[in-house]
């Protein structure tokens, strides 16, 4: 795979039907849910990005724990938003435990940053959504 520039928000070559995942997701329920459906390549040094769908689109995944823990996710979102190279999609685990924090991240992500936010109920649902996004992105890129 092509390497990222040092700041971690530059373009990366991603083959069709693949997703490049941050090493921190290796062995997670999220990554396990995608295995066998799409090809996952794990790489170090992708921060602040969690997954690359293509050279220009990426996913920032906010877990239930991230959301409940506070506003630490905000810096990652702002870094990607300020990058002229990337179109970021934010996937958030909206559960009973994190529901009270959801409106704050929704307002910040959608209204303040103008980014796409997609809520999921669990890592399993998150893996299905990412798989679908990879399939859709590969299909639309092939037709372009």
Distance CA 104, CA 77 (A): 14
For residue 10, the model assigns a pLDDT of 57
What pLDDT score was predicted for residue 138?
54
Maximum distance among all Cα pairs of the chain, rounded to whole angstroms: 42
Looking at residue 89, its pLDDT comes to 97
Angstrom distance (rounded) from CA 89 to CA 121: 16
Classify each residue of 115-124 as buried b or exposed e, where b means 16 or more C-beta atoms within 10 Å of its C-beta: bebebbeebe
Instruction: Measure Cα distances from 128 to 73, 84, 120, 133 in Å.
Output: 22, 28, 10, 9
Residue corresponding to tokens 């990607």: 80
pLDDT of residue 50: 96
Q: Is there a cis peptide before residue 48, judged by omega within 30 degrees of 0?
A: yes
Q: Residue 126 domain-assigned?
A: yes
Number of domain units in the chain: 1
Q: Is residue 24 part of a domain?
A: yes
**Model confidence, pTM:** 0.86
- Rounded to the nearest 5 percent, the helix, strand and coil shares of the chain are 40, 20, 35
Q: Which domain holds residue 103?
A: 18-137
| Domain-embedded: residue 1 | no
Q: Tell me the C-alpha distance between 53 and 55, whole Å.
A: 7
Residue 67 lies in a domain: yes
Give me the CATH number covering residue 37: 3.40.50.10130
Q: Is 143 within a domain?
A: no
Give, for all 144 residues of the chain, the pLDDT tens digit.
444 443 555 557 888 889 999 999 999 999 999 999 999 999 998 889 999 998 889 999 999 999 999 988 999 999 999 987 889 999 999 999 999 999 999 999 999 999 999 999 999 999 999 999 998 765 555 544
């Amino acid at each position: 795979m092509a390497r990222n520039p040092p700041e971690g928000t530059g373009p990366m070559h991603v083959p069709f039907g693949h997703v490049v995942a941050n090493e921190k997701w290796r062995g997670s329920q999220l990554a396990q849910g995608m295995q066998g459906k799409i090809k996952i390549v794990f790489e170090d040094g992708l921060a602040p990005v969690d997954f690359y769908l293509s050279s220009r689109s990426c996913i920032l995944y906010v877990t239930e724990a991230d959301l409940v823990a506070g506003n630490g996710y905000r810096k990652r979102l702002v870094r990607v938003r300020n990058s002229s190279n990337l179109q970021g999609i934010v996937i958030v685990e909206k559960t009973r435990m994190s529901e009270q924090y959801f409106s704050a991240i929704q307002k910040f992500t959608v209204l303040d940053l103008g980014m796409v936010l997609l809520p999921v109920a669990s890592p399993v649902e998150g893996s299905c959504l990412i798989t679908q996004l990879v399939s859709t992105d590969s299909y639309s890129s092939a037709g372009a």
